[in-house]
Amino acid sequence: MKRFAALMTSAALLATQAGLAQMGAPGERPPMMSAVPGPLAAKYKSDADKILQAAMADDEGYAHLAYLTDHIGKRLSGSPQLNTAVEWGAELMRKAGLQNVQIQPVMVPHWVRGNESATITYKGETGTITKPLHMLGLGMSVGTPKGGITAPVVFVHDFAEFDALSNDQVKGKIVVFNPGWHGYGVGSMYRTGSQGRSAAKGAAAVLVRSATGLAMQTPHTGTLRYDEKQAKIPSAAISVEDALLIERLAKEGPVQVHLEMDAHMEPDVKAGNVIGEIVGSEHPEQVVVLGGHIDSWDVGQGAQDDGSGIMATFEAVSLIHKLGLKPKRTIRIVFWVNEENGGAGGRAYRQWIGDKIGDQVAAIEMDGGAEKPLGIGYGGFGRARRPAPPSPGAAAAAPAPSGFDESSLSAEEKQSFVYMRDIVCLLGSIGTDTVSPGGGGSDIGPIVADGVPALSPHTVGDHYFDWHHTEADTLDKVDPDSFKRNTAMLSVVAYVLADMDGRLAGRKGVARE
């Protein structure tokens, strides 16, 4: 999950599931609305029970995830492994009997990490400390000159402290940011936004505390965003422990870091979105689309982020087909490409839809891990996406509050919540019978900005940010039972949305990178 593309205006407020759990202060949860039975629960009970029973007994989805993670592995955009996964995904859809299976060509960036290392040196009255740092270069970063960079450290907690420094205090030095842990939104704001403002004052490089609350000497990568008006400087994430060590030592005396990074860009590579369908029986032109992103970072196995998402959504669609259920509208599964460091797949899908955007009935993205699901998130009505990095000299905005004002909804939006609370009545047996205001994801951001209703699973979110973007994002982190519950919930929701007479309401916004 890169949390890089599809930042929304307040009109859209498109939070991802993971964002719902942790975009604000750690531990915050969006409000959960309980199920309220209505005509949809009565009409679809029999079909839903069949889906739930089949999903909870199904082992194929998890087996597919195991193959993807163990045998194909990490799938960075531009890598041979990604294109192997794309071809495998298309064949998987064909074998499942889905219709109109295709690979939509998409050109993706090819960033190469190369060798990298960092070492800290402190010389004080009590002696010298030299030790390697636990680090991972940030995606799309430039590398250091051959032989690396050796420079003094400037330690700051936040942008306010940094902006108070003069250019002379920063020029030629390595800036270390440690904003603490205040949720992923704040952490990723420093990861993506510290390079430009540091370069503007002449910094040689940037090191950022990893965007996680877990301290286990595990660095977290993720993409950055360079300011095209400034020089591009090498940037890396360091572990929580190392960030705190630098903070302590910097209070005692001068700290120096030697940084070496071979990171570089190569020409774009052809990859693709993987698409398959169950064609609607009455309104085939109308589409409920669901999926996740097939690419991952080049560390770990991309198991939670986002192998679990594409395999749970695929199995959700596959089960509907296996059970012989024929919804009135088309159900489309998409494995989007290049979510982590570019968003090319989501943009290409929007271009492919063209002027048929009004036929996109709903978009469901699973990109927050397959932890225990609590229910489904719907629409742009809860917490805002994480704030964009402030411009130099401007104060960093706090994440928007998570309050939900039902009275501000339109009549169509209120009716949509009635529909959703009715639908989740079908999910009581698996414990996912709630609706939360807020749902979406980066890949569906471009179509959701044009008014397509957005949904995403709402999970407990206990450990997702401990694992994602790290070497620890491996299959063993995905609990089979939780995976099945996510699959079951997605399958029932997608099927009912594709077959019911009514439609959900969406909100238009502005997607930007």
Can you tell me the distance from the alpha carbon of 239 to that of 242, in angstroms, rounded to the nearest whole number? 5
Nearest to 258 by CA among 190, 207, 191, 195: 207
Q: 400-429: b or e for each residue (b if 16 or more CB lie within 10 Å)?
A: bebebeeeebeeebeebbebbbbbbbbbee
Contact yes or no for 236/137 (Cβ under 8 A): yes
Cis amide leading into 306 (omega within 30): yes
Can you tell me the distance from the alpha carbon of 217 to that of 204, in angstroms, rounded to the nearest whole number? 24
Indicate if 339 belongs to the active site: yes
Using CA atoms of 278, 279, 281, 284 in order, give the dihedral in degrees to the nearest 10.
140
Residue 100: phi, psi to the nearest 5?
Answer: 50, 40
Nearest to 263 by CA among 142, 145, 148: 142
* Amino acid of residue 486: N
Q: How far is CA 272 from the centre of its chain?
A: 18
Can you tell me the distance from the alpha carbon of 210 to that of 179, in angstroms, rounded to the nearest whole number? 10
* Cβ partners under 8 Å of residue 176, min gap 6: 153, 154, 155, 156, 206, 207, 208, 238, 243, 246, 247, 250, 257
Under DSSP, the state recorded for 403 is -
Beta bridge partner(s), residue 74? none
* Amino acid of residue 201: K
Q: How far is CA 439 from the centre of its chain?
A: 12
Q: Would you call 168 helix, strand, or coil by DSSP?
A: helix
* Cβ partners under 8 Å of residue 501, min gap 6: none
Contact yes or no for 481/317 (Cβ under 8 A): no
For the chain, the farthest-separated pair of C-alpha atoms sits apart, in whole angstroms, at 80
Q: 147-178: b or e for each residue (b if 16 or more CB lie within 10 Å)?
A: ebbebebbbbebbeebbeeeeeebeebbbbbb
3-state helix, strand, coil in the chain (%, to 5): 35, 25, 40
Considering 116, 260, 315, 339, which one is annotated as catalytic?
339
Nearest to 353 by CA among 240, 462, 459, 444: 444
Can you tell me the distance from the alpha carbon of 63 to that of 78, in angstroms, rounded to the nearest whole number? 26
Residues taking part in catalysis: 339
